[in-house]
Each structure stands twice: as structure tokens, then as C-alpha cells.
Amino acid sequence: MKTITVHANQTLFDIVLQAYGDIDGVFDLCRDNDIQFFELLKAGQVLVYNGKNNNIVEYYKRHKIQPTSGVKQEVSNWILATGFWNDNGKWQNNKFWID
């Protein structure tokens, strides 16, 4: 088994591309690491895999490419639960907007 370290903002699919060269290995990677395919990975997390070297994997290694398609995960939850801004810019308190 080989190991691969997750970098900031890498998704499971980024790791699969880097390790296997395509996404066909996603379920193998999940099984080998006891993770679900929808789980968020953490930078520094070490995963094991049985990927075979192919042209894509070799290209990534040769050019030091680490696919990173994730976004910075900031959460800013705000909900307008007790009203809404009307078309005139006035706050409608304790009312619901119906389109």
C-alpha cells in the first residue's frame, strides 16, 4: 500500500485523480480508508491506496501537480427567518415572502 497526504482544499476526487489518474478508484480509496465518498478531507490527513502508476499519475508526479478543486470552507450562516426586504428596500418584519 502507498500513502498520500491531503493538502489544503483537496477533495476526495482530487486525491483519487492524483493517486489513480482517474476517478475509477474512488470506491477503493473509500474502502481502504474507511471513509464515505461525501466526507470532507482534512489537510494533513494521510490516506492509503493501491493505485497503479499510469501516464496521468506519472505526469502529476513529474510536474508536482496536486489537484485542488475544493474551496476554503468558511461557514457564515445567516437566515432571514422573521421577515424579508421588500422590493422598496423596506424590512417586512414577521412576514413571509411568497413568490
Domain spans, the chain: 2-62
77: pLDDT strictly greater than 60: no
Q: Would you identify the CATH topology of the domain 2-62?
A: Membrane-bound Lytic Murein Transglycosylase D; Chain A (3.10.350)
Dihedral angle, C-alpha 39, 40, 42, 48, nearest 10 °: 40
The predicted model scores a pTM of: 0.66
Task: Compute the distance between CA of residue 11 and CA of residue 8 in angstroms, rounded to an integer.
Answer: 9
83: pLDDT strictly greater than 90: no
Q: What is the pLDDT of residues 15-66, one digit of tens each?
A: 999 999 998 999 999 999 999 988 889 999 999 999 777 898 899 889 998 8
Q: How many CB atoms lie within 10 A of CB 94?
A: 7
More confident residue, 78 or 91: 91
Name, of 3-7, 65-69, 76-80, the range with top average pLDDT: 3-7
